[in-house]
Amino acid sequence: MYTEAILGILLLLLWWKAFLKKPADLPPGRWGLPLVGYIPFTKKSMEEQLLDLNKEHGDIYVWRMGTQVMVFLHSYEMCKEALGRQDFVNRPDWQFFTFGEKVALGVGGSNGSLWHSNRRFTLRQLKDQGMGKSRLVSSVHEQTKMLLGNVRQQVGKSGPVPHAIRVAVVNVIWHMVAGITYDVDDAKLKGFLQLMDNFNDYSFYTTILDMFPWLGHLPLSLKNRLFYLDQEEIFKERFMEYFYELIEEHRSSMDPENPRDLMDAYLMEMREAPEREEVARSEKDLAILILDLFFAGSETTTSTLTFIMYYLAVFPEAQRKLQQEIDRVLPDGALATLEDKARLPYTEAVIHEVLRMSSLVPGGVQHCASKDTQFAGYTIPKGSIINYAIASVHYDPRYWKQPEKFMPERWLDAEGKFNTKKEGFLPFGVGKRVCLGESLARMELLIFTAAVFQNFNISSPPGSPLDITPDPKQPMFHLPRNQNIYITARN
Ligand code: HEM
């Protein structure tokens, strides 16, 4: 009798130690129960809870969500150190990153040599198209003119930020990828943008499966009802049809001596691939690589441009200073080029301050530990998910004086020159997987912003002050709210 009781207690203790208690060498934090992790019962937003945990535990802590051990980093130094490490370079094998493929393709969600070669390939494309003849700059200029024409139609009226901004950003990617430019009202483009919206709306549901992978054992029909997997598959197939059609057109019309765009360049590498066995090139990989560029590069840039308009409407003094600088540097309405960047320090300062304050990707994009790793005095177990709190670093008084204040001047030195301060600034991430479209995004932000404020004033509509805080309906990202602006023409 006693022996059974003691054995029972021992078993309980073992079970507690093995499954219930957080291993001592992990960072402090929330652990909860096996399979479900720590489920908070609070009305606080996720972001508020993370700030509470930061206060309680410091710059590194864990939160087991479902079966996923999530590690959160809150200091710039830790983010830089962790994201520069080979052991943390991978993405988790979440549906969110794999788009339902067994092994993730493309660049944003892939790992290992495929990621490496696709990243190198895409960076080279961006560089080649951005240099010499500078095809990318002329594409951005062409889109700027289209944008200005559309903004002009809204002069004297209250209305949402012109849809043409999104079209301009998407067209620059289309141009780089496939040499295509759509009209603002093009039905095919509208269908494409709608598809992106649908895909974004439904991708939230698959993250639940990523946190609780054991739910994957449910019958398919139930999973489809709960997580809309079938819908996601349909949207993905539609994207693929889109891209496969273009890939076919490119294959039949391309001149190997004169590659026109990223598709041509990839198809040429595919031809050469048998001789270079380390790269697994395929049409599906190309299609997903393109999908990655649209998902990573369009809403991010469009939303930042929208935030720039909102901030400058709310801070008219900054708008006036920016316009004075543009008038001085770009007389006669010329469009900015990359060469003008050094002469537009205040414009650069405004863009950087908006990137800091809006912190579009507040929790960074997840990485994953590929093996048990020692970090900051703790053991980070293989499979842990690494999150880096960009928004928290951007508002941290260790790096920023009066972080809540919109102060473009913080980016200027005593002579008014732009000061490329890096410490505590990571809107594009940091380390080995840092945003590969950063240079393109920066170029678009500079050229579009300069052109819009060279030609127009933007303010809140009479009686409806703009709200620059992020839309609370979007829990994962800091997106601008849907609201009206008021545009007037400058002389
Ligand atoms: C203001 C605009 C943008 C912001 C704030 C932004 C931000 C980010 C962030 C935070 C990451 C995650 C880095 C990490 O994994 O640690 C990322 C990755 C990425 N971005 Fe951007 N991005 C922007 C524009 C663009 C553009 C224009 C493109 C390309 C057309 C692009 C393509 C990518 C890709 C492909 C990745 C994945 C890189 C990889 O996994 O190796 N982004 N971006």
Pairing of strands 456-459, 385-388: unpaired
**Does residue 16 carry a pLDDT above 70?**
no
Supply the DSSP string of 258-270, one letter for each residue: S--SHHHHHHHHH
Higher pLDDT, 134 or 176: 176
Query: Can you state the percent helix, strand and coil of the chain, rounding each to 5?
Result: 55, 10, 35
Which residue is closest in CA terms to ligand 1's atom 25?
A: 297
Fold of 67-489: Cytochrome p450 (1.10.630)
- pLDDT at 121 (0 to 100): 94
- pLDDT at 132 (0 to 100): 45
**Does residue 119 line the site of ligand 1, with CB under 6 A?**
yes
| Cβ atoms of residues 439 and 338 within 8 Å | no
Binning pLDDT at 50, 70 and 90, where does residue 66 land? Answer: very high
Return the closest-CA partner of residue 467 out of 485, 453, 449, 455: 485
**Does residue 421 line the site of ligand 1, with CB under 6 A?**
no
Query: Which tens digits make up the pLDDT trace of 344-391?
Result: 999 999 999 999 999 999 999 999 999 999 999 999 999 999 999 999
**Does residue 361 line the site of ligand 1, with CB under 6 A?**
yes
Which residue is closest in CA terms to ligand 1's atom 41?
A: 433
**Does residue 438 carry a pLDDT above 90?**
yes
Upper half-sphere CA count for residue 191 (Cβ side, 13 Å)? 8
The residue whose CB lies within 8 Å of the most ligand 1 atoms, and thus the one to mutate among 348, 435, 440, 443, is 435
Query: Which tens digits make up the pLDDT trace of 203-251?
Result: 888 888 999 999 989 999 999 999 888 888 899 999 999 999 999 999 9
- pLDDT at 157 (0 to 100): 92
The residue whose CB lies within 8 Å of the most ligand 1 atoms, and thus the one to mutate among 89, 98, 292, 300, is 300
**Does residue 108 line the site of ligand 1, with CB under 6 A?**
yes
**Does residue 12 carry a pLDDT above 60?**
no
**Does residue 126 line the site of ligand 1, with CB under 6 A?**
no
Distance CA 296, CA 284 (A): 18
Binning pLDDT at 50, 70 and 90, where does residue 50 land? Answer: very high
Both structure tokens of 101: 């493929």
Q: How far is CA 268 from CA 128, 248, 281, in A?
A: 15, 13, 10
- pLDDT at 2 (0 to 100): 63
Cα 185 to middle of ligand 1, angstroms: 27
Distance CA 421, CA 356 (A): 12
Q: What is the mean pLDDT of residues 10-19?
A: 58
Q: For 391, list phi and psi in degrees, rounded to 5.
A: -60, -40
- pLDDT at 11 (0 to 100): 57
Residue 115 carries which side chain, given as an amino acid letter? W
Q: How far is CA 42 from CA 28, 49, 55, in A?
A: 20, 9, 17
Query: Which tens digits make up the pLDDT trace of 290-331?
Result: 999 999 999 999 999 999 999 999 999 999 999 999 999 998
**Does residue 1 carry a pLDDT above 80?**
no
Pairing of strands 484-489, 29-30: unpaired
Domain locations along the chain = 67-489
Q: What is the mean pLDDT of residues 30-59?
A: 93
What DSSP state is assigned to residue 20?
I
Return the closest-CA partner of residue 301 out of 453, 445, 467, 183: 445
